[in-house]
Amino acid sequence: MQNKDIATPIRTREILEKYGFSFKKSLGQNFLIDPNILNNIVSHAGLTKNDNAIEVGPGIGALTEHLARASKKVMAFELDQRLLPILADTLSPYDNVRIIHQDILEADVKEMMKETFGEGEEAMVVANLPYYVTTPIILKMLHDHLPIKGLVVMLQKEVAERIAAKPGTKEYGSLSIAIQYFTNAEVVMIVPKTVFMPQPNVDSAVIRLLRREKPAVEVENEAFFFTVTRSSFAQRRKTILNNLTSQLPEGKAKKEEIIASLEQAGIEPTRRGETLSLEEFGRLADALLPHFHQG
């Protein structure tokens, strides 16, 4: 028989009262109390019993439980020590879950994946991310080139929209590019604040990021490509020429080289960063590289 879901308001309250648990605002703790939403998140991740899952911030195990039922193995990172005995209790029916008491931003995730899942095993990241560290966690997962198929994560609706934004929209920026370079990004669900305890101040969204087989554009120097995209959005109202001149190292002294590079890449100097596609940024970074090579 299937165990009673953790993610109901009554059961969540019972567990919190049993352990005298109080929410820590500093850790961005908002627990999901709606099993249907959890089922939806897991189904968007497309997990089967042959797949592994990585979770960040399992809380009292509401999503972890659904992941344990749907996948082969689950590895979850929990920073709050007070939650460890609760998780040991709530997840006791499942023998395929490993809880790691560590900050995922400091963890050697690749090594831990090997330990938990075995050599050469991939995983899907599925999580209700703490709002205050959403972006660093997603970027770490992608930039560390971990063997992950993708991420299906809940985050602030506004951040989800920025990640999935298309060129020419006001949401589009260096974050959109940093993530779309590695993945195909799609907002798959909007989640009202009423399904959380305590209720956050903003609505949430679930975004699905499926890893591309190879990056969206081929560039000569990945780190420099990201430097160029960040520089291009430093001040949104400025033209790409002004932003690059003020942001790149010795940019003011190299204004002529920047103009020549823009021309070489077929980009009008008067355009703004938000109008450029990933392909155009790729061409621009490669054109600028010889003038600003980072050693």
CB atoms within 10 A of CB 77: 23
CB atoms within 10 A of CB 285: 25
- With contact defined as beta carbons under 8 Å apart, do 157 and 205 qualify? yes
Residue 128 is assigned to a ligand binding site: yes
CB atoms within 10 A of CB 65: 25
The alpha-carbon radius of gyration of the chain (Å, integer) is 21
Strand partners, 98: 75
Residue 242 is assigned to a ligand binding site: no
Q: How many CA atoms lie within 13 A of 23 on its CB side?
A: 15
β-strands 31-32, 196-197 pairing: antiparallel
Q: Residue 197 belongs to what H/E stretch?
A: strand 196-197
Give how far Cα 250 sits from Cα of 126, 195, 238, 263, Å: 42, 50, 18, 19
Q: Collect all residues with Cβ–Cβ distance below 8 Å to 286 and sequence separation of at least 6.
A: 219, 220, 265
Residues in the chain: 295
- With contact defined as beta carbons under 8 Å apart, do 155 and 90 qualify? no
The owner of tokens 């992608």 is 142
Residue 30 is assigned to a ligand binding site: yes
Residue 32 is assigned to a ligand binding site: yes
In the annotated binding site, the residues are 30, 32, 57, 78, 103, 128
In the annotated binding site for S-adenosyl-L-methionine, the residues are 30, 32, 57, 78, 103, 128
